[in-house]
Amino acid sequence: MTSTTATAAPPAFMSVSPDNWRLALVAGIVVSIVAILVLPAAASFWVVGIMVALIAAASAINAYRRRYYGGLLVAPAIAVLFVMNIFPLLWSLGLSFFAYQSNQQSIRFVGLNNYIKVLTNELAAKDNWDALTNTALFVVLTVSAQMVIGFLLALLFAKQFPLRKYLLILVLTPMMLSVVAAGVFFTYYYDPTFGILSYVMGEITGNQFILMDNKAGAVGGIVFADAWMWSPFVMLLVLAGLVSVPKYLYEAAAIDRVSGWRQFWTITFPYIRGLLMLALLFRTIEAFKIADLVILLTKGGNDTMTISYHLIRIANEQNKTSEGAAISYVMLFMVIVLTNLYLYLANRRSHGA
Give the domain ranges of the chain. Answer: 12-95, 116-352
**Per residue of the chain (353 residues), what is the pLDDT tens digit?**
444 444 554 555 566 777 777 888 888 888 888 887 888 777 887 888 888 888 888 888 888 787 777 777 877 888 888 888 888 888 888 888 888 877 777 777 888 888 888 888 777 778 888 888 999 999 999 999 999 999 999 999 988 888 888 999 999 999 888 888 988 899 888 888 888 888 888 888 778 788 888 899 999 999 999 999 999 999 999 998 888 888 888 888 888 888 878 888 888 888 888 888 889 988 998 898 899 899 999 888 888 999 889 888 888 888 888 888 888 898 888 888 888 888 887 777 666 65
Torsion sign, CA atoms 23, 24, 28, 29: negative
Query: Can you name the residues that pair with 99 across neighbouring β-strands?
Result: 108
User: Which amino acid belongs to residue 295?
Assistant: I
116-352 under CATH 1.25.40.10, yes or no: no
DSSP letters for 141-186: HHHHHHHHHHHHHHHHHTS--TTHHHHHHHHHHHHHS-HHHHHHHH
Model pLDDT, residue 3: 46
Q: Which among 306, 333, 296 is positioned nearest to 142, based on CA atoms?
A: 306
Decide if 308 contacts 291 (C-beta within 8 A).
yes
Distance CA 300, CA 298 (A): 5
What is the pLDDT, as a whole number, of residue 324? 86
pLDDT, position 1: 45
DSSP code of 108? E
Identify the pLDDT of residue 137.
Answer: 93
Residue of 60, 26, 33, 58 whose CA lies nearest to 47: 33
Structure pTM? 0.78
Determine the residue type at 180.
V
Q: Among 285, 330, 288, which Cα is nearest to 308's?
A: 288
Residue 23: the pLDDT is 82
Of all helices (H) and strands (E), which one includes residue 98? strand 98-100
Using CA atoms, how far apart are residues 51 and 34, in angstroms rounded to an integer?
12
Report which residue type is found at 143: V
